[in-house]
Amino acid sequence: MGVDITVLMADWSWLGRVPPRERLPRLRDAWYADETGLWDHDAPAVEGEWVWPRGEGGACFAVYEFRRTLGSFKPHFWAGERWESVRGHADPLVRADVDAVLSGLFWSGPDYEVEPLNADHDFFGDDPRTAYGLLVARSPGGVRELAATWERLSPRLEGLRGDFTEYAAAPDGWIPDFDAFSSLLEGWGHVVTEAARRGWGMVGLSE
């Protein structure tokens, strides 16, 4: 569980100009490019904001900095674990939407019954060597579906506070309370909403 995650939105048409197995390397090369990439960016990253690269690929992708995660995948993993503790007590409609959002991003479902790799991963080819480190991949169509679900869920999320506090709170954990859980979901909601607005896809890469 020492994995970090970097979440990006990207222009699928820009990535689609190269063969599938070259798409992740193209994204990584632009991300790490000297002078124009994101790796040694002069300005510090701001939590809850997008970081845009400089140079030729600057209009084609951006990285989102989640609040209070330090770039770690652990908060995302534990959000899924906390949800499993509370989902049986949630309103069925809210439960269905949280299930859809989380399983569409990083959660394997109750009892790990949801296959974490989805058809959108095929955009990056089927060679595990070139797709190494790909944790999440959603096409523009998949992003639109998630954004629509998030729009429906967002105003009802607060209704989970009482049940979360009773059944899922863990003061010493990465997701200790409902505020941490909702903040993480709101970050993902921001990612899919902005990517959908642009007609872009979304990827989550491990480091």
Pairing of strands 134-138, 5-10: unpaired
Q: What is the dihedral of CA 143, 144, 149, 155, to 10 degrees?
A: 100
User: How confident is the model at residue 118, as a pLDDT?
Assistant: 61
> How many domains, the chain?
1
Please state the pTM of the whole predicted model: 0.90
Q: In angstroms, rounded to a whole number, what is the distance separating the alpha carbons of residues 133 and 138?
A: 15
User: How confident is the model at residue 42, as a pLDDT?
Assistant: 52
Q: What's the Cα-to-Cα distance from 205 to each of 129, 133, 146, 156, 202, rounded to whole Å?
A: 14, 5, 19, 30, 10
**Given a cut of 80, is residue 24 above it in pLDDT?**
yes
The HSE-up count of residue 30 (CA atoms within 13 Å, CB side) is 22
Higher pLDDT, 131 or 20: 20
**Given a cut of 80, is residue 44 above it in pLDDT?**
no
User: How confident is the model at residue 172, as a pLDDT?
Assistant: 85
Residue 86's pLDDT band, with cuts at 50, 70 and 90, is very high
Q: Which domain holds residue 24?
A: 5-206
User: How confident is the model at residue 163, as a pLDDT?
Assistant: 96
